Amino acid sequence: MGTWNTPQRIWLTGATSGIGKALAQRLMAEGHRVVLSARRQDKLAALCKGFDNAAVLPLDISDRDAVQAAGKRIEAELGGLDLALFNAGTCEYLDVRAFDVALVERVLTPNLNGTLYCVEAALPLLRAARREGRPARLAVTSSASAYMALPRAEAYGASKAAVSYFMEALRLDLSPETIGVSVIHPGFVDTPLTAQNDFPMPMQVSVDQAADAILKGLYHGRKDIHFPKRFTLIVKLLGILPPALRFAVGRRLVRDPQQEDAA
């Protein structure tokens, strides 16, 4: 895998857990000037210990004013961004028998709104990099679930599908400014978040494998970074089947409520 020829100015969210933590460790070790964001300052400080090329920026991405203030701080410290890598997000699954809009909002707010707040704050910084004659790239973590509707994933899948669509449309509108846009579609990755899942997770990869795939894709400027390909290509194929066939496949994944109640 290649690396950037010069240190990049990078803002990474969701930096203290799972894929984000693995990415942070790699980027710091490679010598990039990294701004790391997550909710917990103590975890950020522990992560950055020993690295003078990393800055701690605690942040709740659901707070638009706080995200705007974070962008201003990055502008003051770095002048611009070569890469904005937005990885923060959450997941909860919906039980349709007890339909819960509050649950849906808890997922949509950080995954969609929070991501867009970060994009809003980052665009001026990416444009500053382009004015300096440097490449600029915006990257956002979506999910392979955006390719195909899955049971109980109404909230999570909808949030990620919305992110994917928004970023793909934004890619078109940013193309005259030569700001690249990458959308990351992971399959199952072994993280504290997926450890809470109560169903089989085929072809699961480690966070280090995920970080490798993401950084390789970013280095090569790929628009759609998806992995592991043996899994994501299957999901992509299922997602373009005619509706009746998609329904038949998805229906096989639905749990039997009577069996759940008995369990």
pLDDT 10s digits, 12-60 = 999 999 999 999 999 999 999 999 999 999 999 999 999 999 999 999 9
Check residue 243 and give left, alpha or beta (phi > 0: left; psi -120 to 50: alpha): alpha
199-252 pLDDT, tens digit per residue, is 777 898 999 999 999 999 999 999 999 999 999 999 999 999 999 999 999 988
DSSP secondary-structure letter at 179?
Answer: E
Query: Cα–Cα distance between 45 and 36 in angstroms, integer?
Result: 10
Element (H, E) at 37: strand 33-37
Query: Cα–Cα distance between 55 and 70 in angstroms, integer?
Result: 12
Q: Which residue has the tokens 């066939």?
A: 245
For 213, the token pair is 């795939």
Residue at 235: amino acid letter: V
Query: Cα–Cα distance between 226 and 237 in angstroms, integer?
Result: 13
Cβ–Cβ < 8 Å for 24, 87 = no
| Residue 205 CA neighbour count, 13 Å, CB half | 19
Give the CATH superfamily of 9-262. NAD(P)-binding Rossmann-like Domain (3.40.50.720)
Domains in the chain: boundaries: 9-262
64-111 pLDDT, tens digit per residue, is 999 999 999 999 999 999 999 999 999 999 999 999 999 999 999 999
For 156, the token pair is 């999570």
pLDDT, the chain, mean: 93
pLDDT for residue 192: 82
Query: Cα–Cα distance between 142 and 164 in angstroms, integer?
Result: 6
pLDDT at 117 over 90: yes
For residue 215, what are the contacts with CB-CB under 8 A and spacing of at least 6? 1, 23, 26, 27
Cβ-in-10-Å burial (0-12, 13-18, 19+) of 99 comes to exposed
> Averaged over 170-182, what is the pLDDT?
98
Cβ–Cβ < 8 Å for 188, 194 = yes
